[in-house]
Amino acid sequence: MSIEARCGSDLRDFVLEKLYSSRRVTIISPWISRETANILLDLSSRGVEVHLITTSDPQPYHIRGLGLLISAERRVVKPGKPRLVKTGLVLSIIGFLLIPLMPPVGAVLVATGLLMVFKYRTIYTEHYYPRIRELLVTSSKLHAKLILTDSALGIGSMNFTESGLLTNIECFAWITDPQVREQVIRDVNTITSTLRKNAVDYKSIYSMIKHVEKHRKK
């Protein structure tokens, strides 16, 4: 069995070297940060298949990191008819102006105009999706920390955060024994199926992101 281990601070290069030389990377970390989220996006842009399993813990630094990994897109569910919507608005305005002089006529125009606006408006829905291959956010009490690459298993004390990679005193080891790696992959697959039962949808995470950013501006 081949094991490379390091303890101390500034383990960034020791950890990232294997990630950047892999085609597929799976990371389990209860917390991430904006800096490490950008690393995952950079890996993905280089063609690495990135899978992340993490928590929905409301720590602001963690939520901001997740914010970089989730995109929101406004999609049209039902196309509208802008000209008819505009006509409806005009009728409504005219109706409001006529109500003092001709109440029945004004009320009919207002009702007709509002009905047209409602009927012919464009209807959208928000679609949320991860910017990496897979992002599983769970409400389970996840405390495991590991990294799987094409050829190695990385395990240790650190979260995949900037402080975990740079400033905290951590211990981390790369194990390249194929049998150990395959056993851990089987274990991870079993754990993942359990974690999916408590998966948090991206829309909820996006709401948390907006809440964190709102308080940040204050």
Confidence (pTM): 0.81
Burial of 58 (0-12, 13-18, 19+ CB in 10 A): exposed
**pLDDT tens per residue across all 218 residues of the chain:** 689 999 999 999 999 999 999 999 999 999 999 999 999 999 999 999 999 999 999 999 999 999 999 988 887 888 999 999 999 999 999 999 999 989 998 999 999 999 999 999 998 888 899 999 999 999 999 999 999 999 999 999 999 999 999 999 999 999 999 999 999 999 999 999 889 999 999 989 988 888 777 766 55
User: Measuring CA to CA, which residue among 191, 202, 157 is closest to residue 26?
Assistant: 191
User: Measuring CA to CA, which residue among 166, 199, 161 is closest to residue 53?
Assistant: 199
Q: Tokens standing for 13?
A: 């290069």
Burial of 137 (0-12, 13-18, 19+ CB in 10 A): buried
**Longest CA span, the chain:** 92
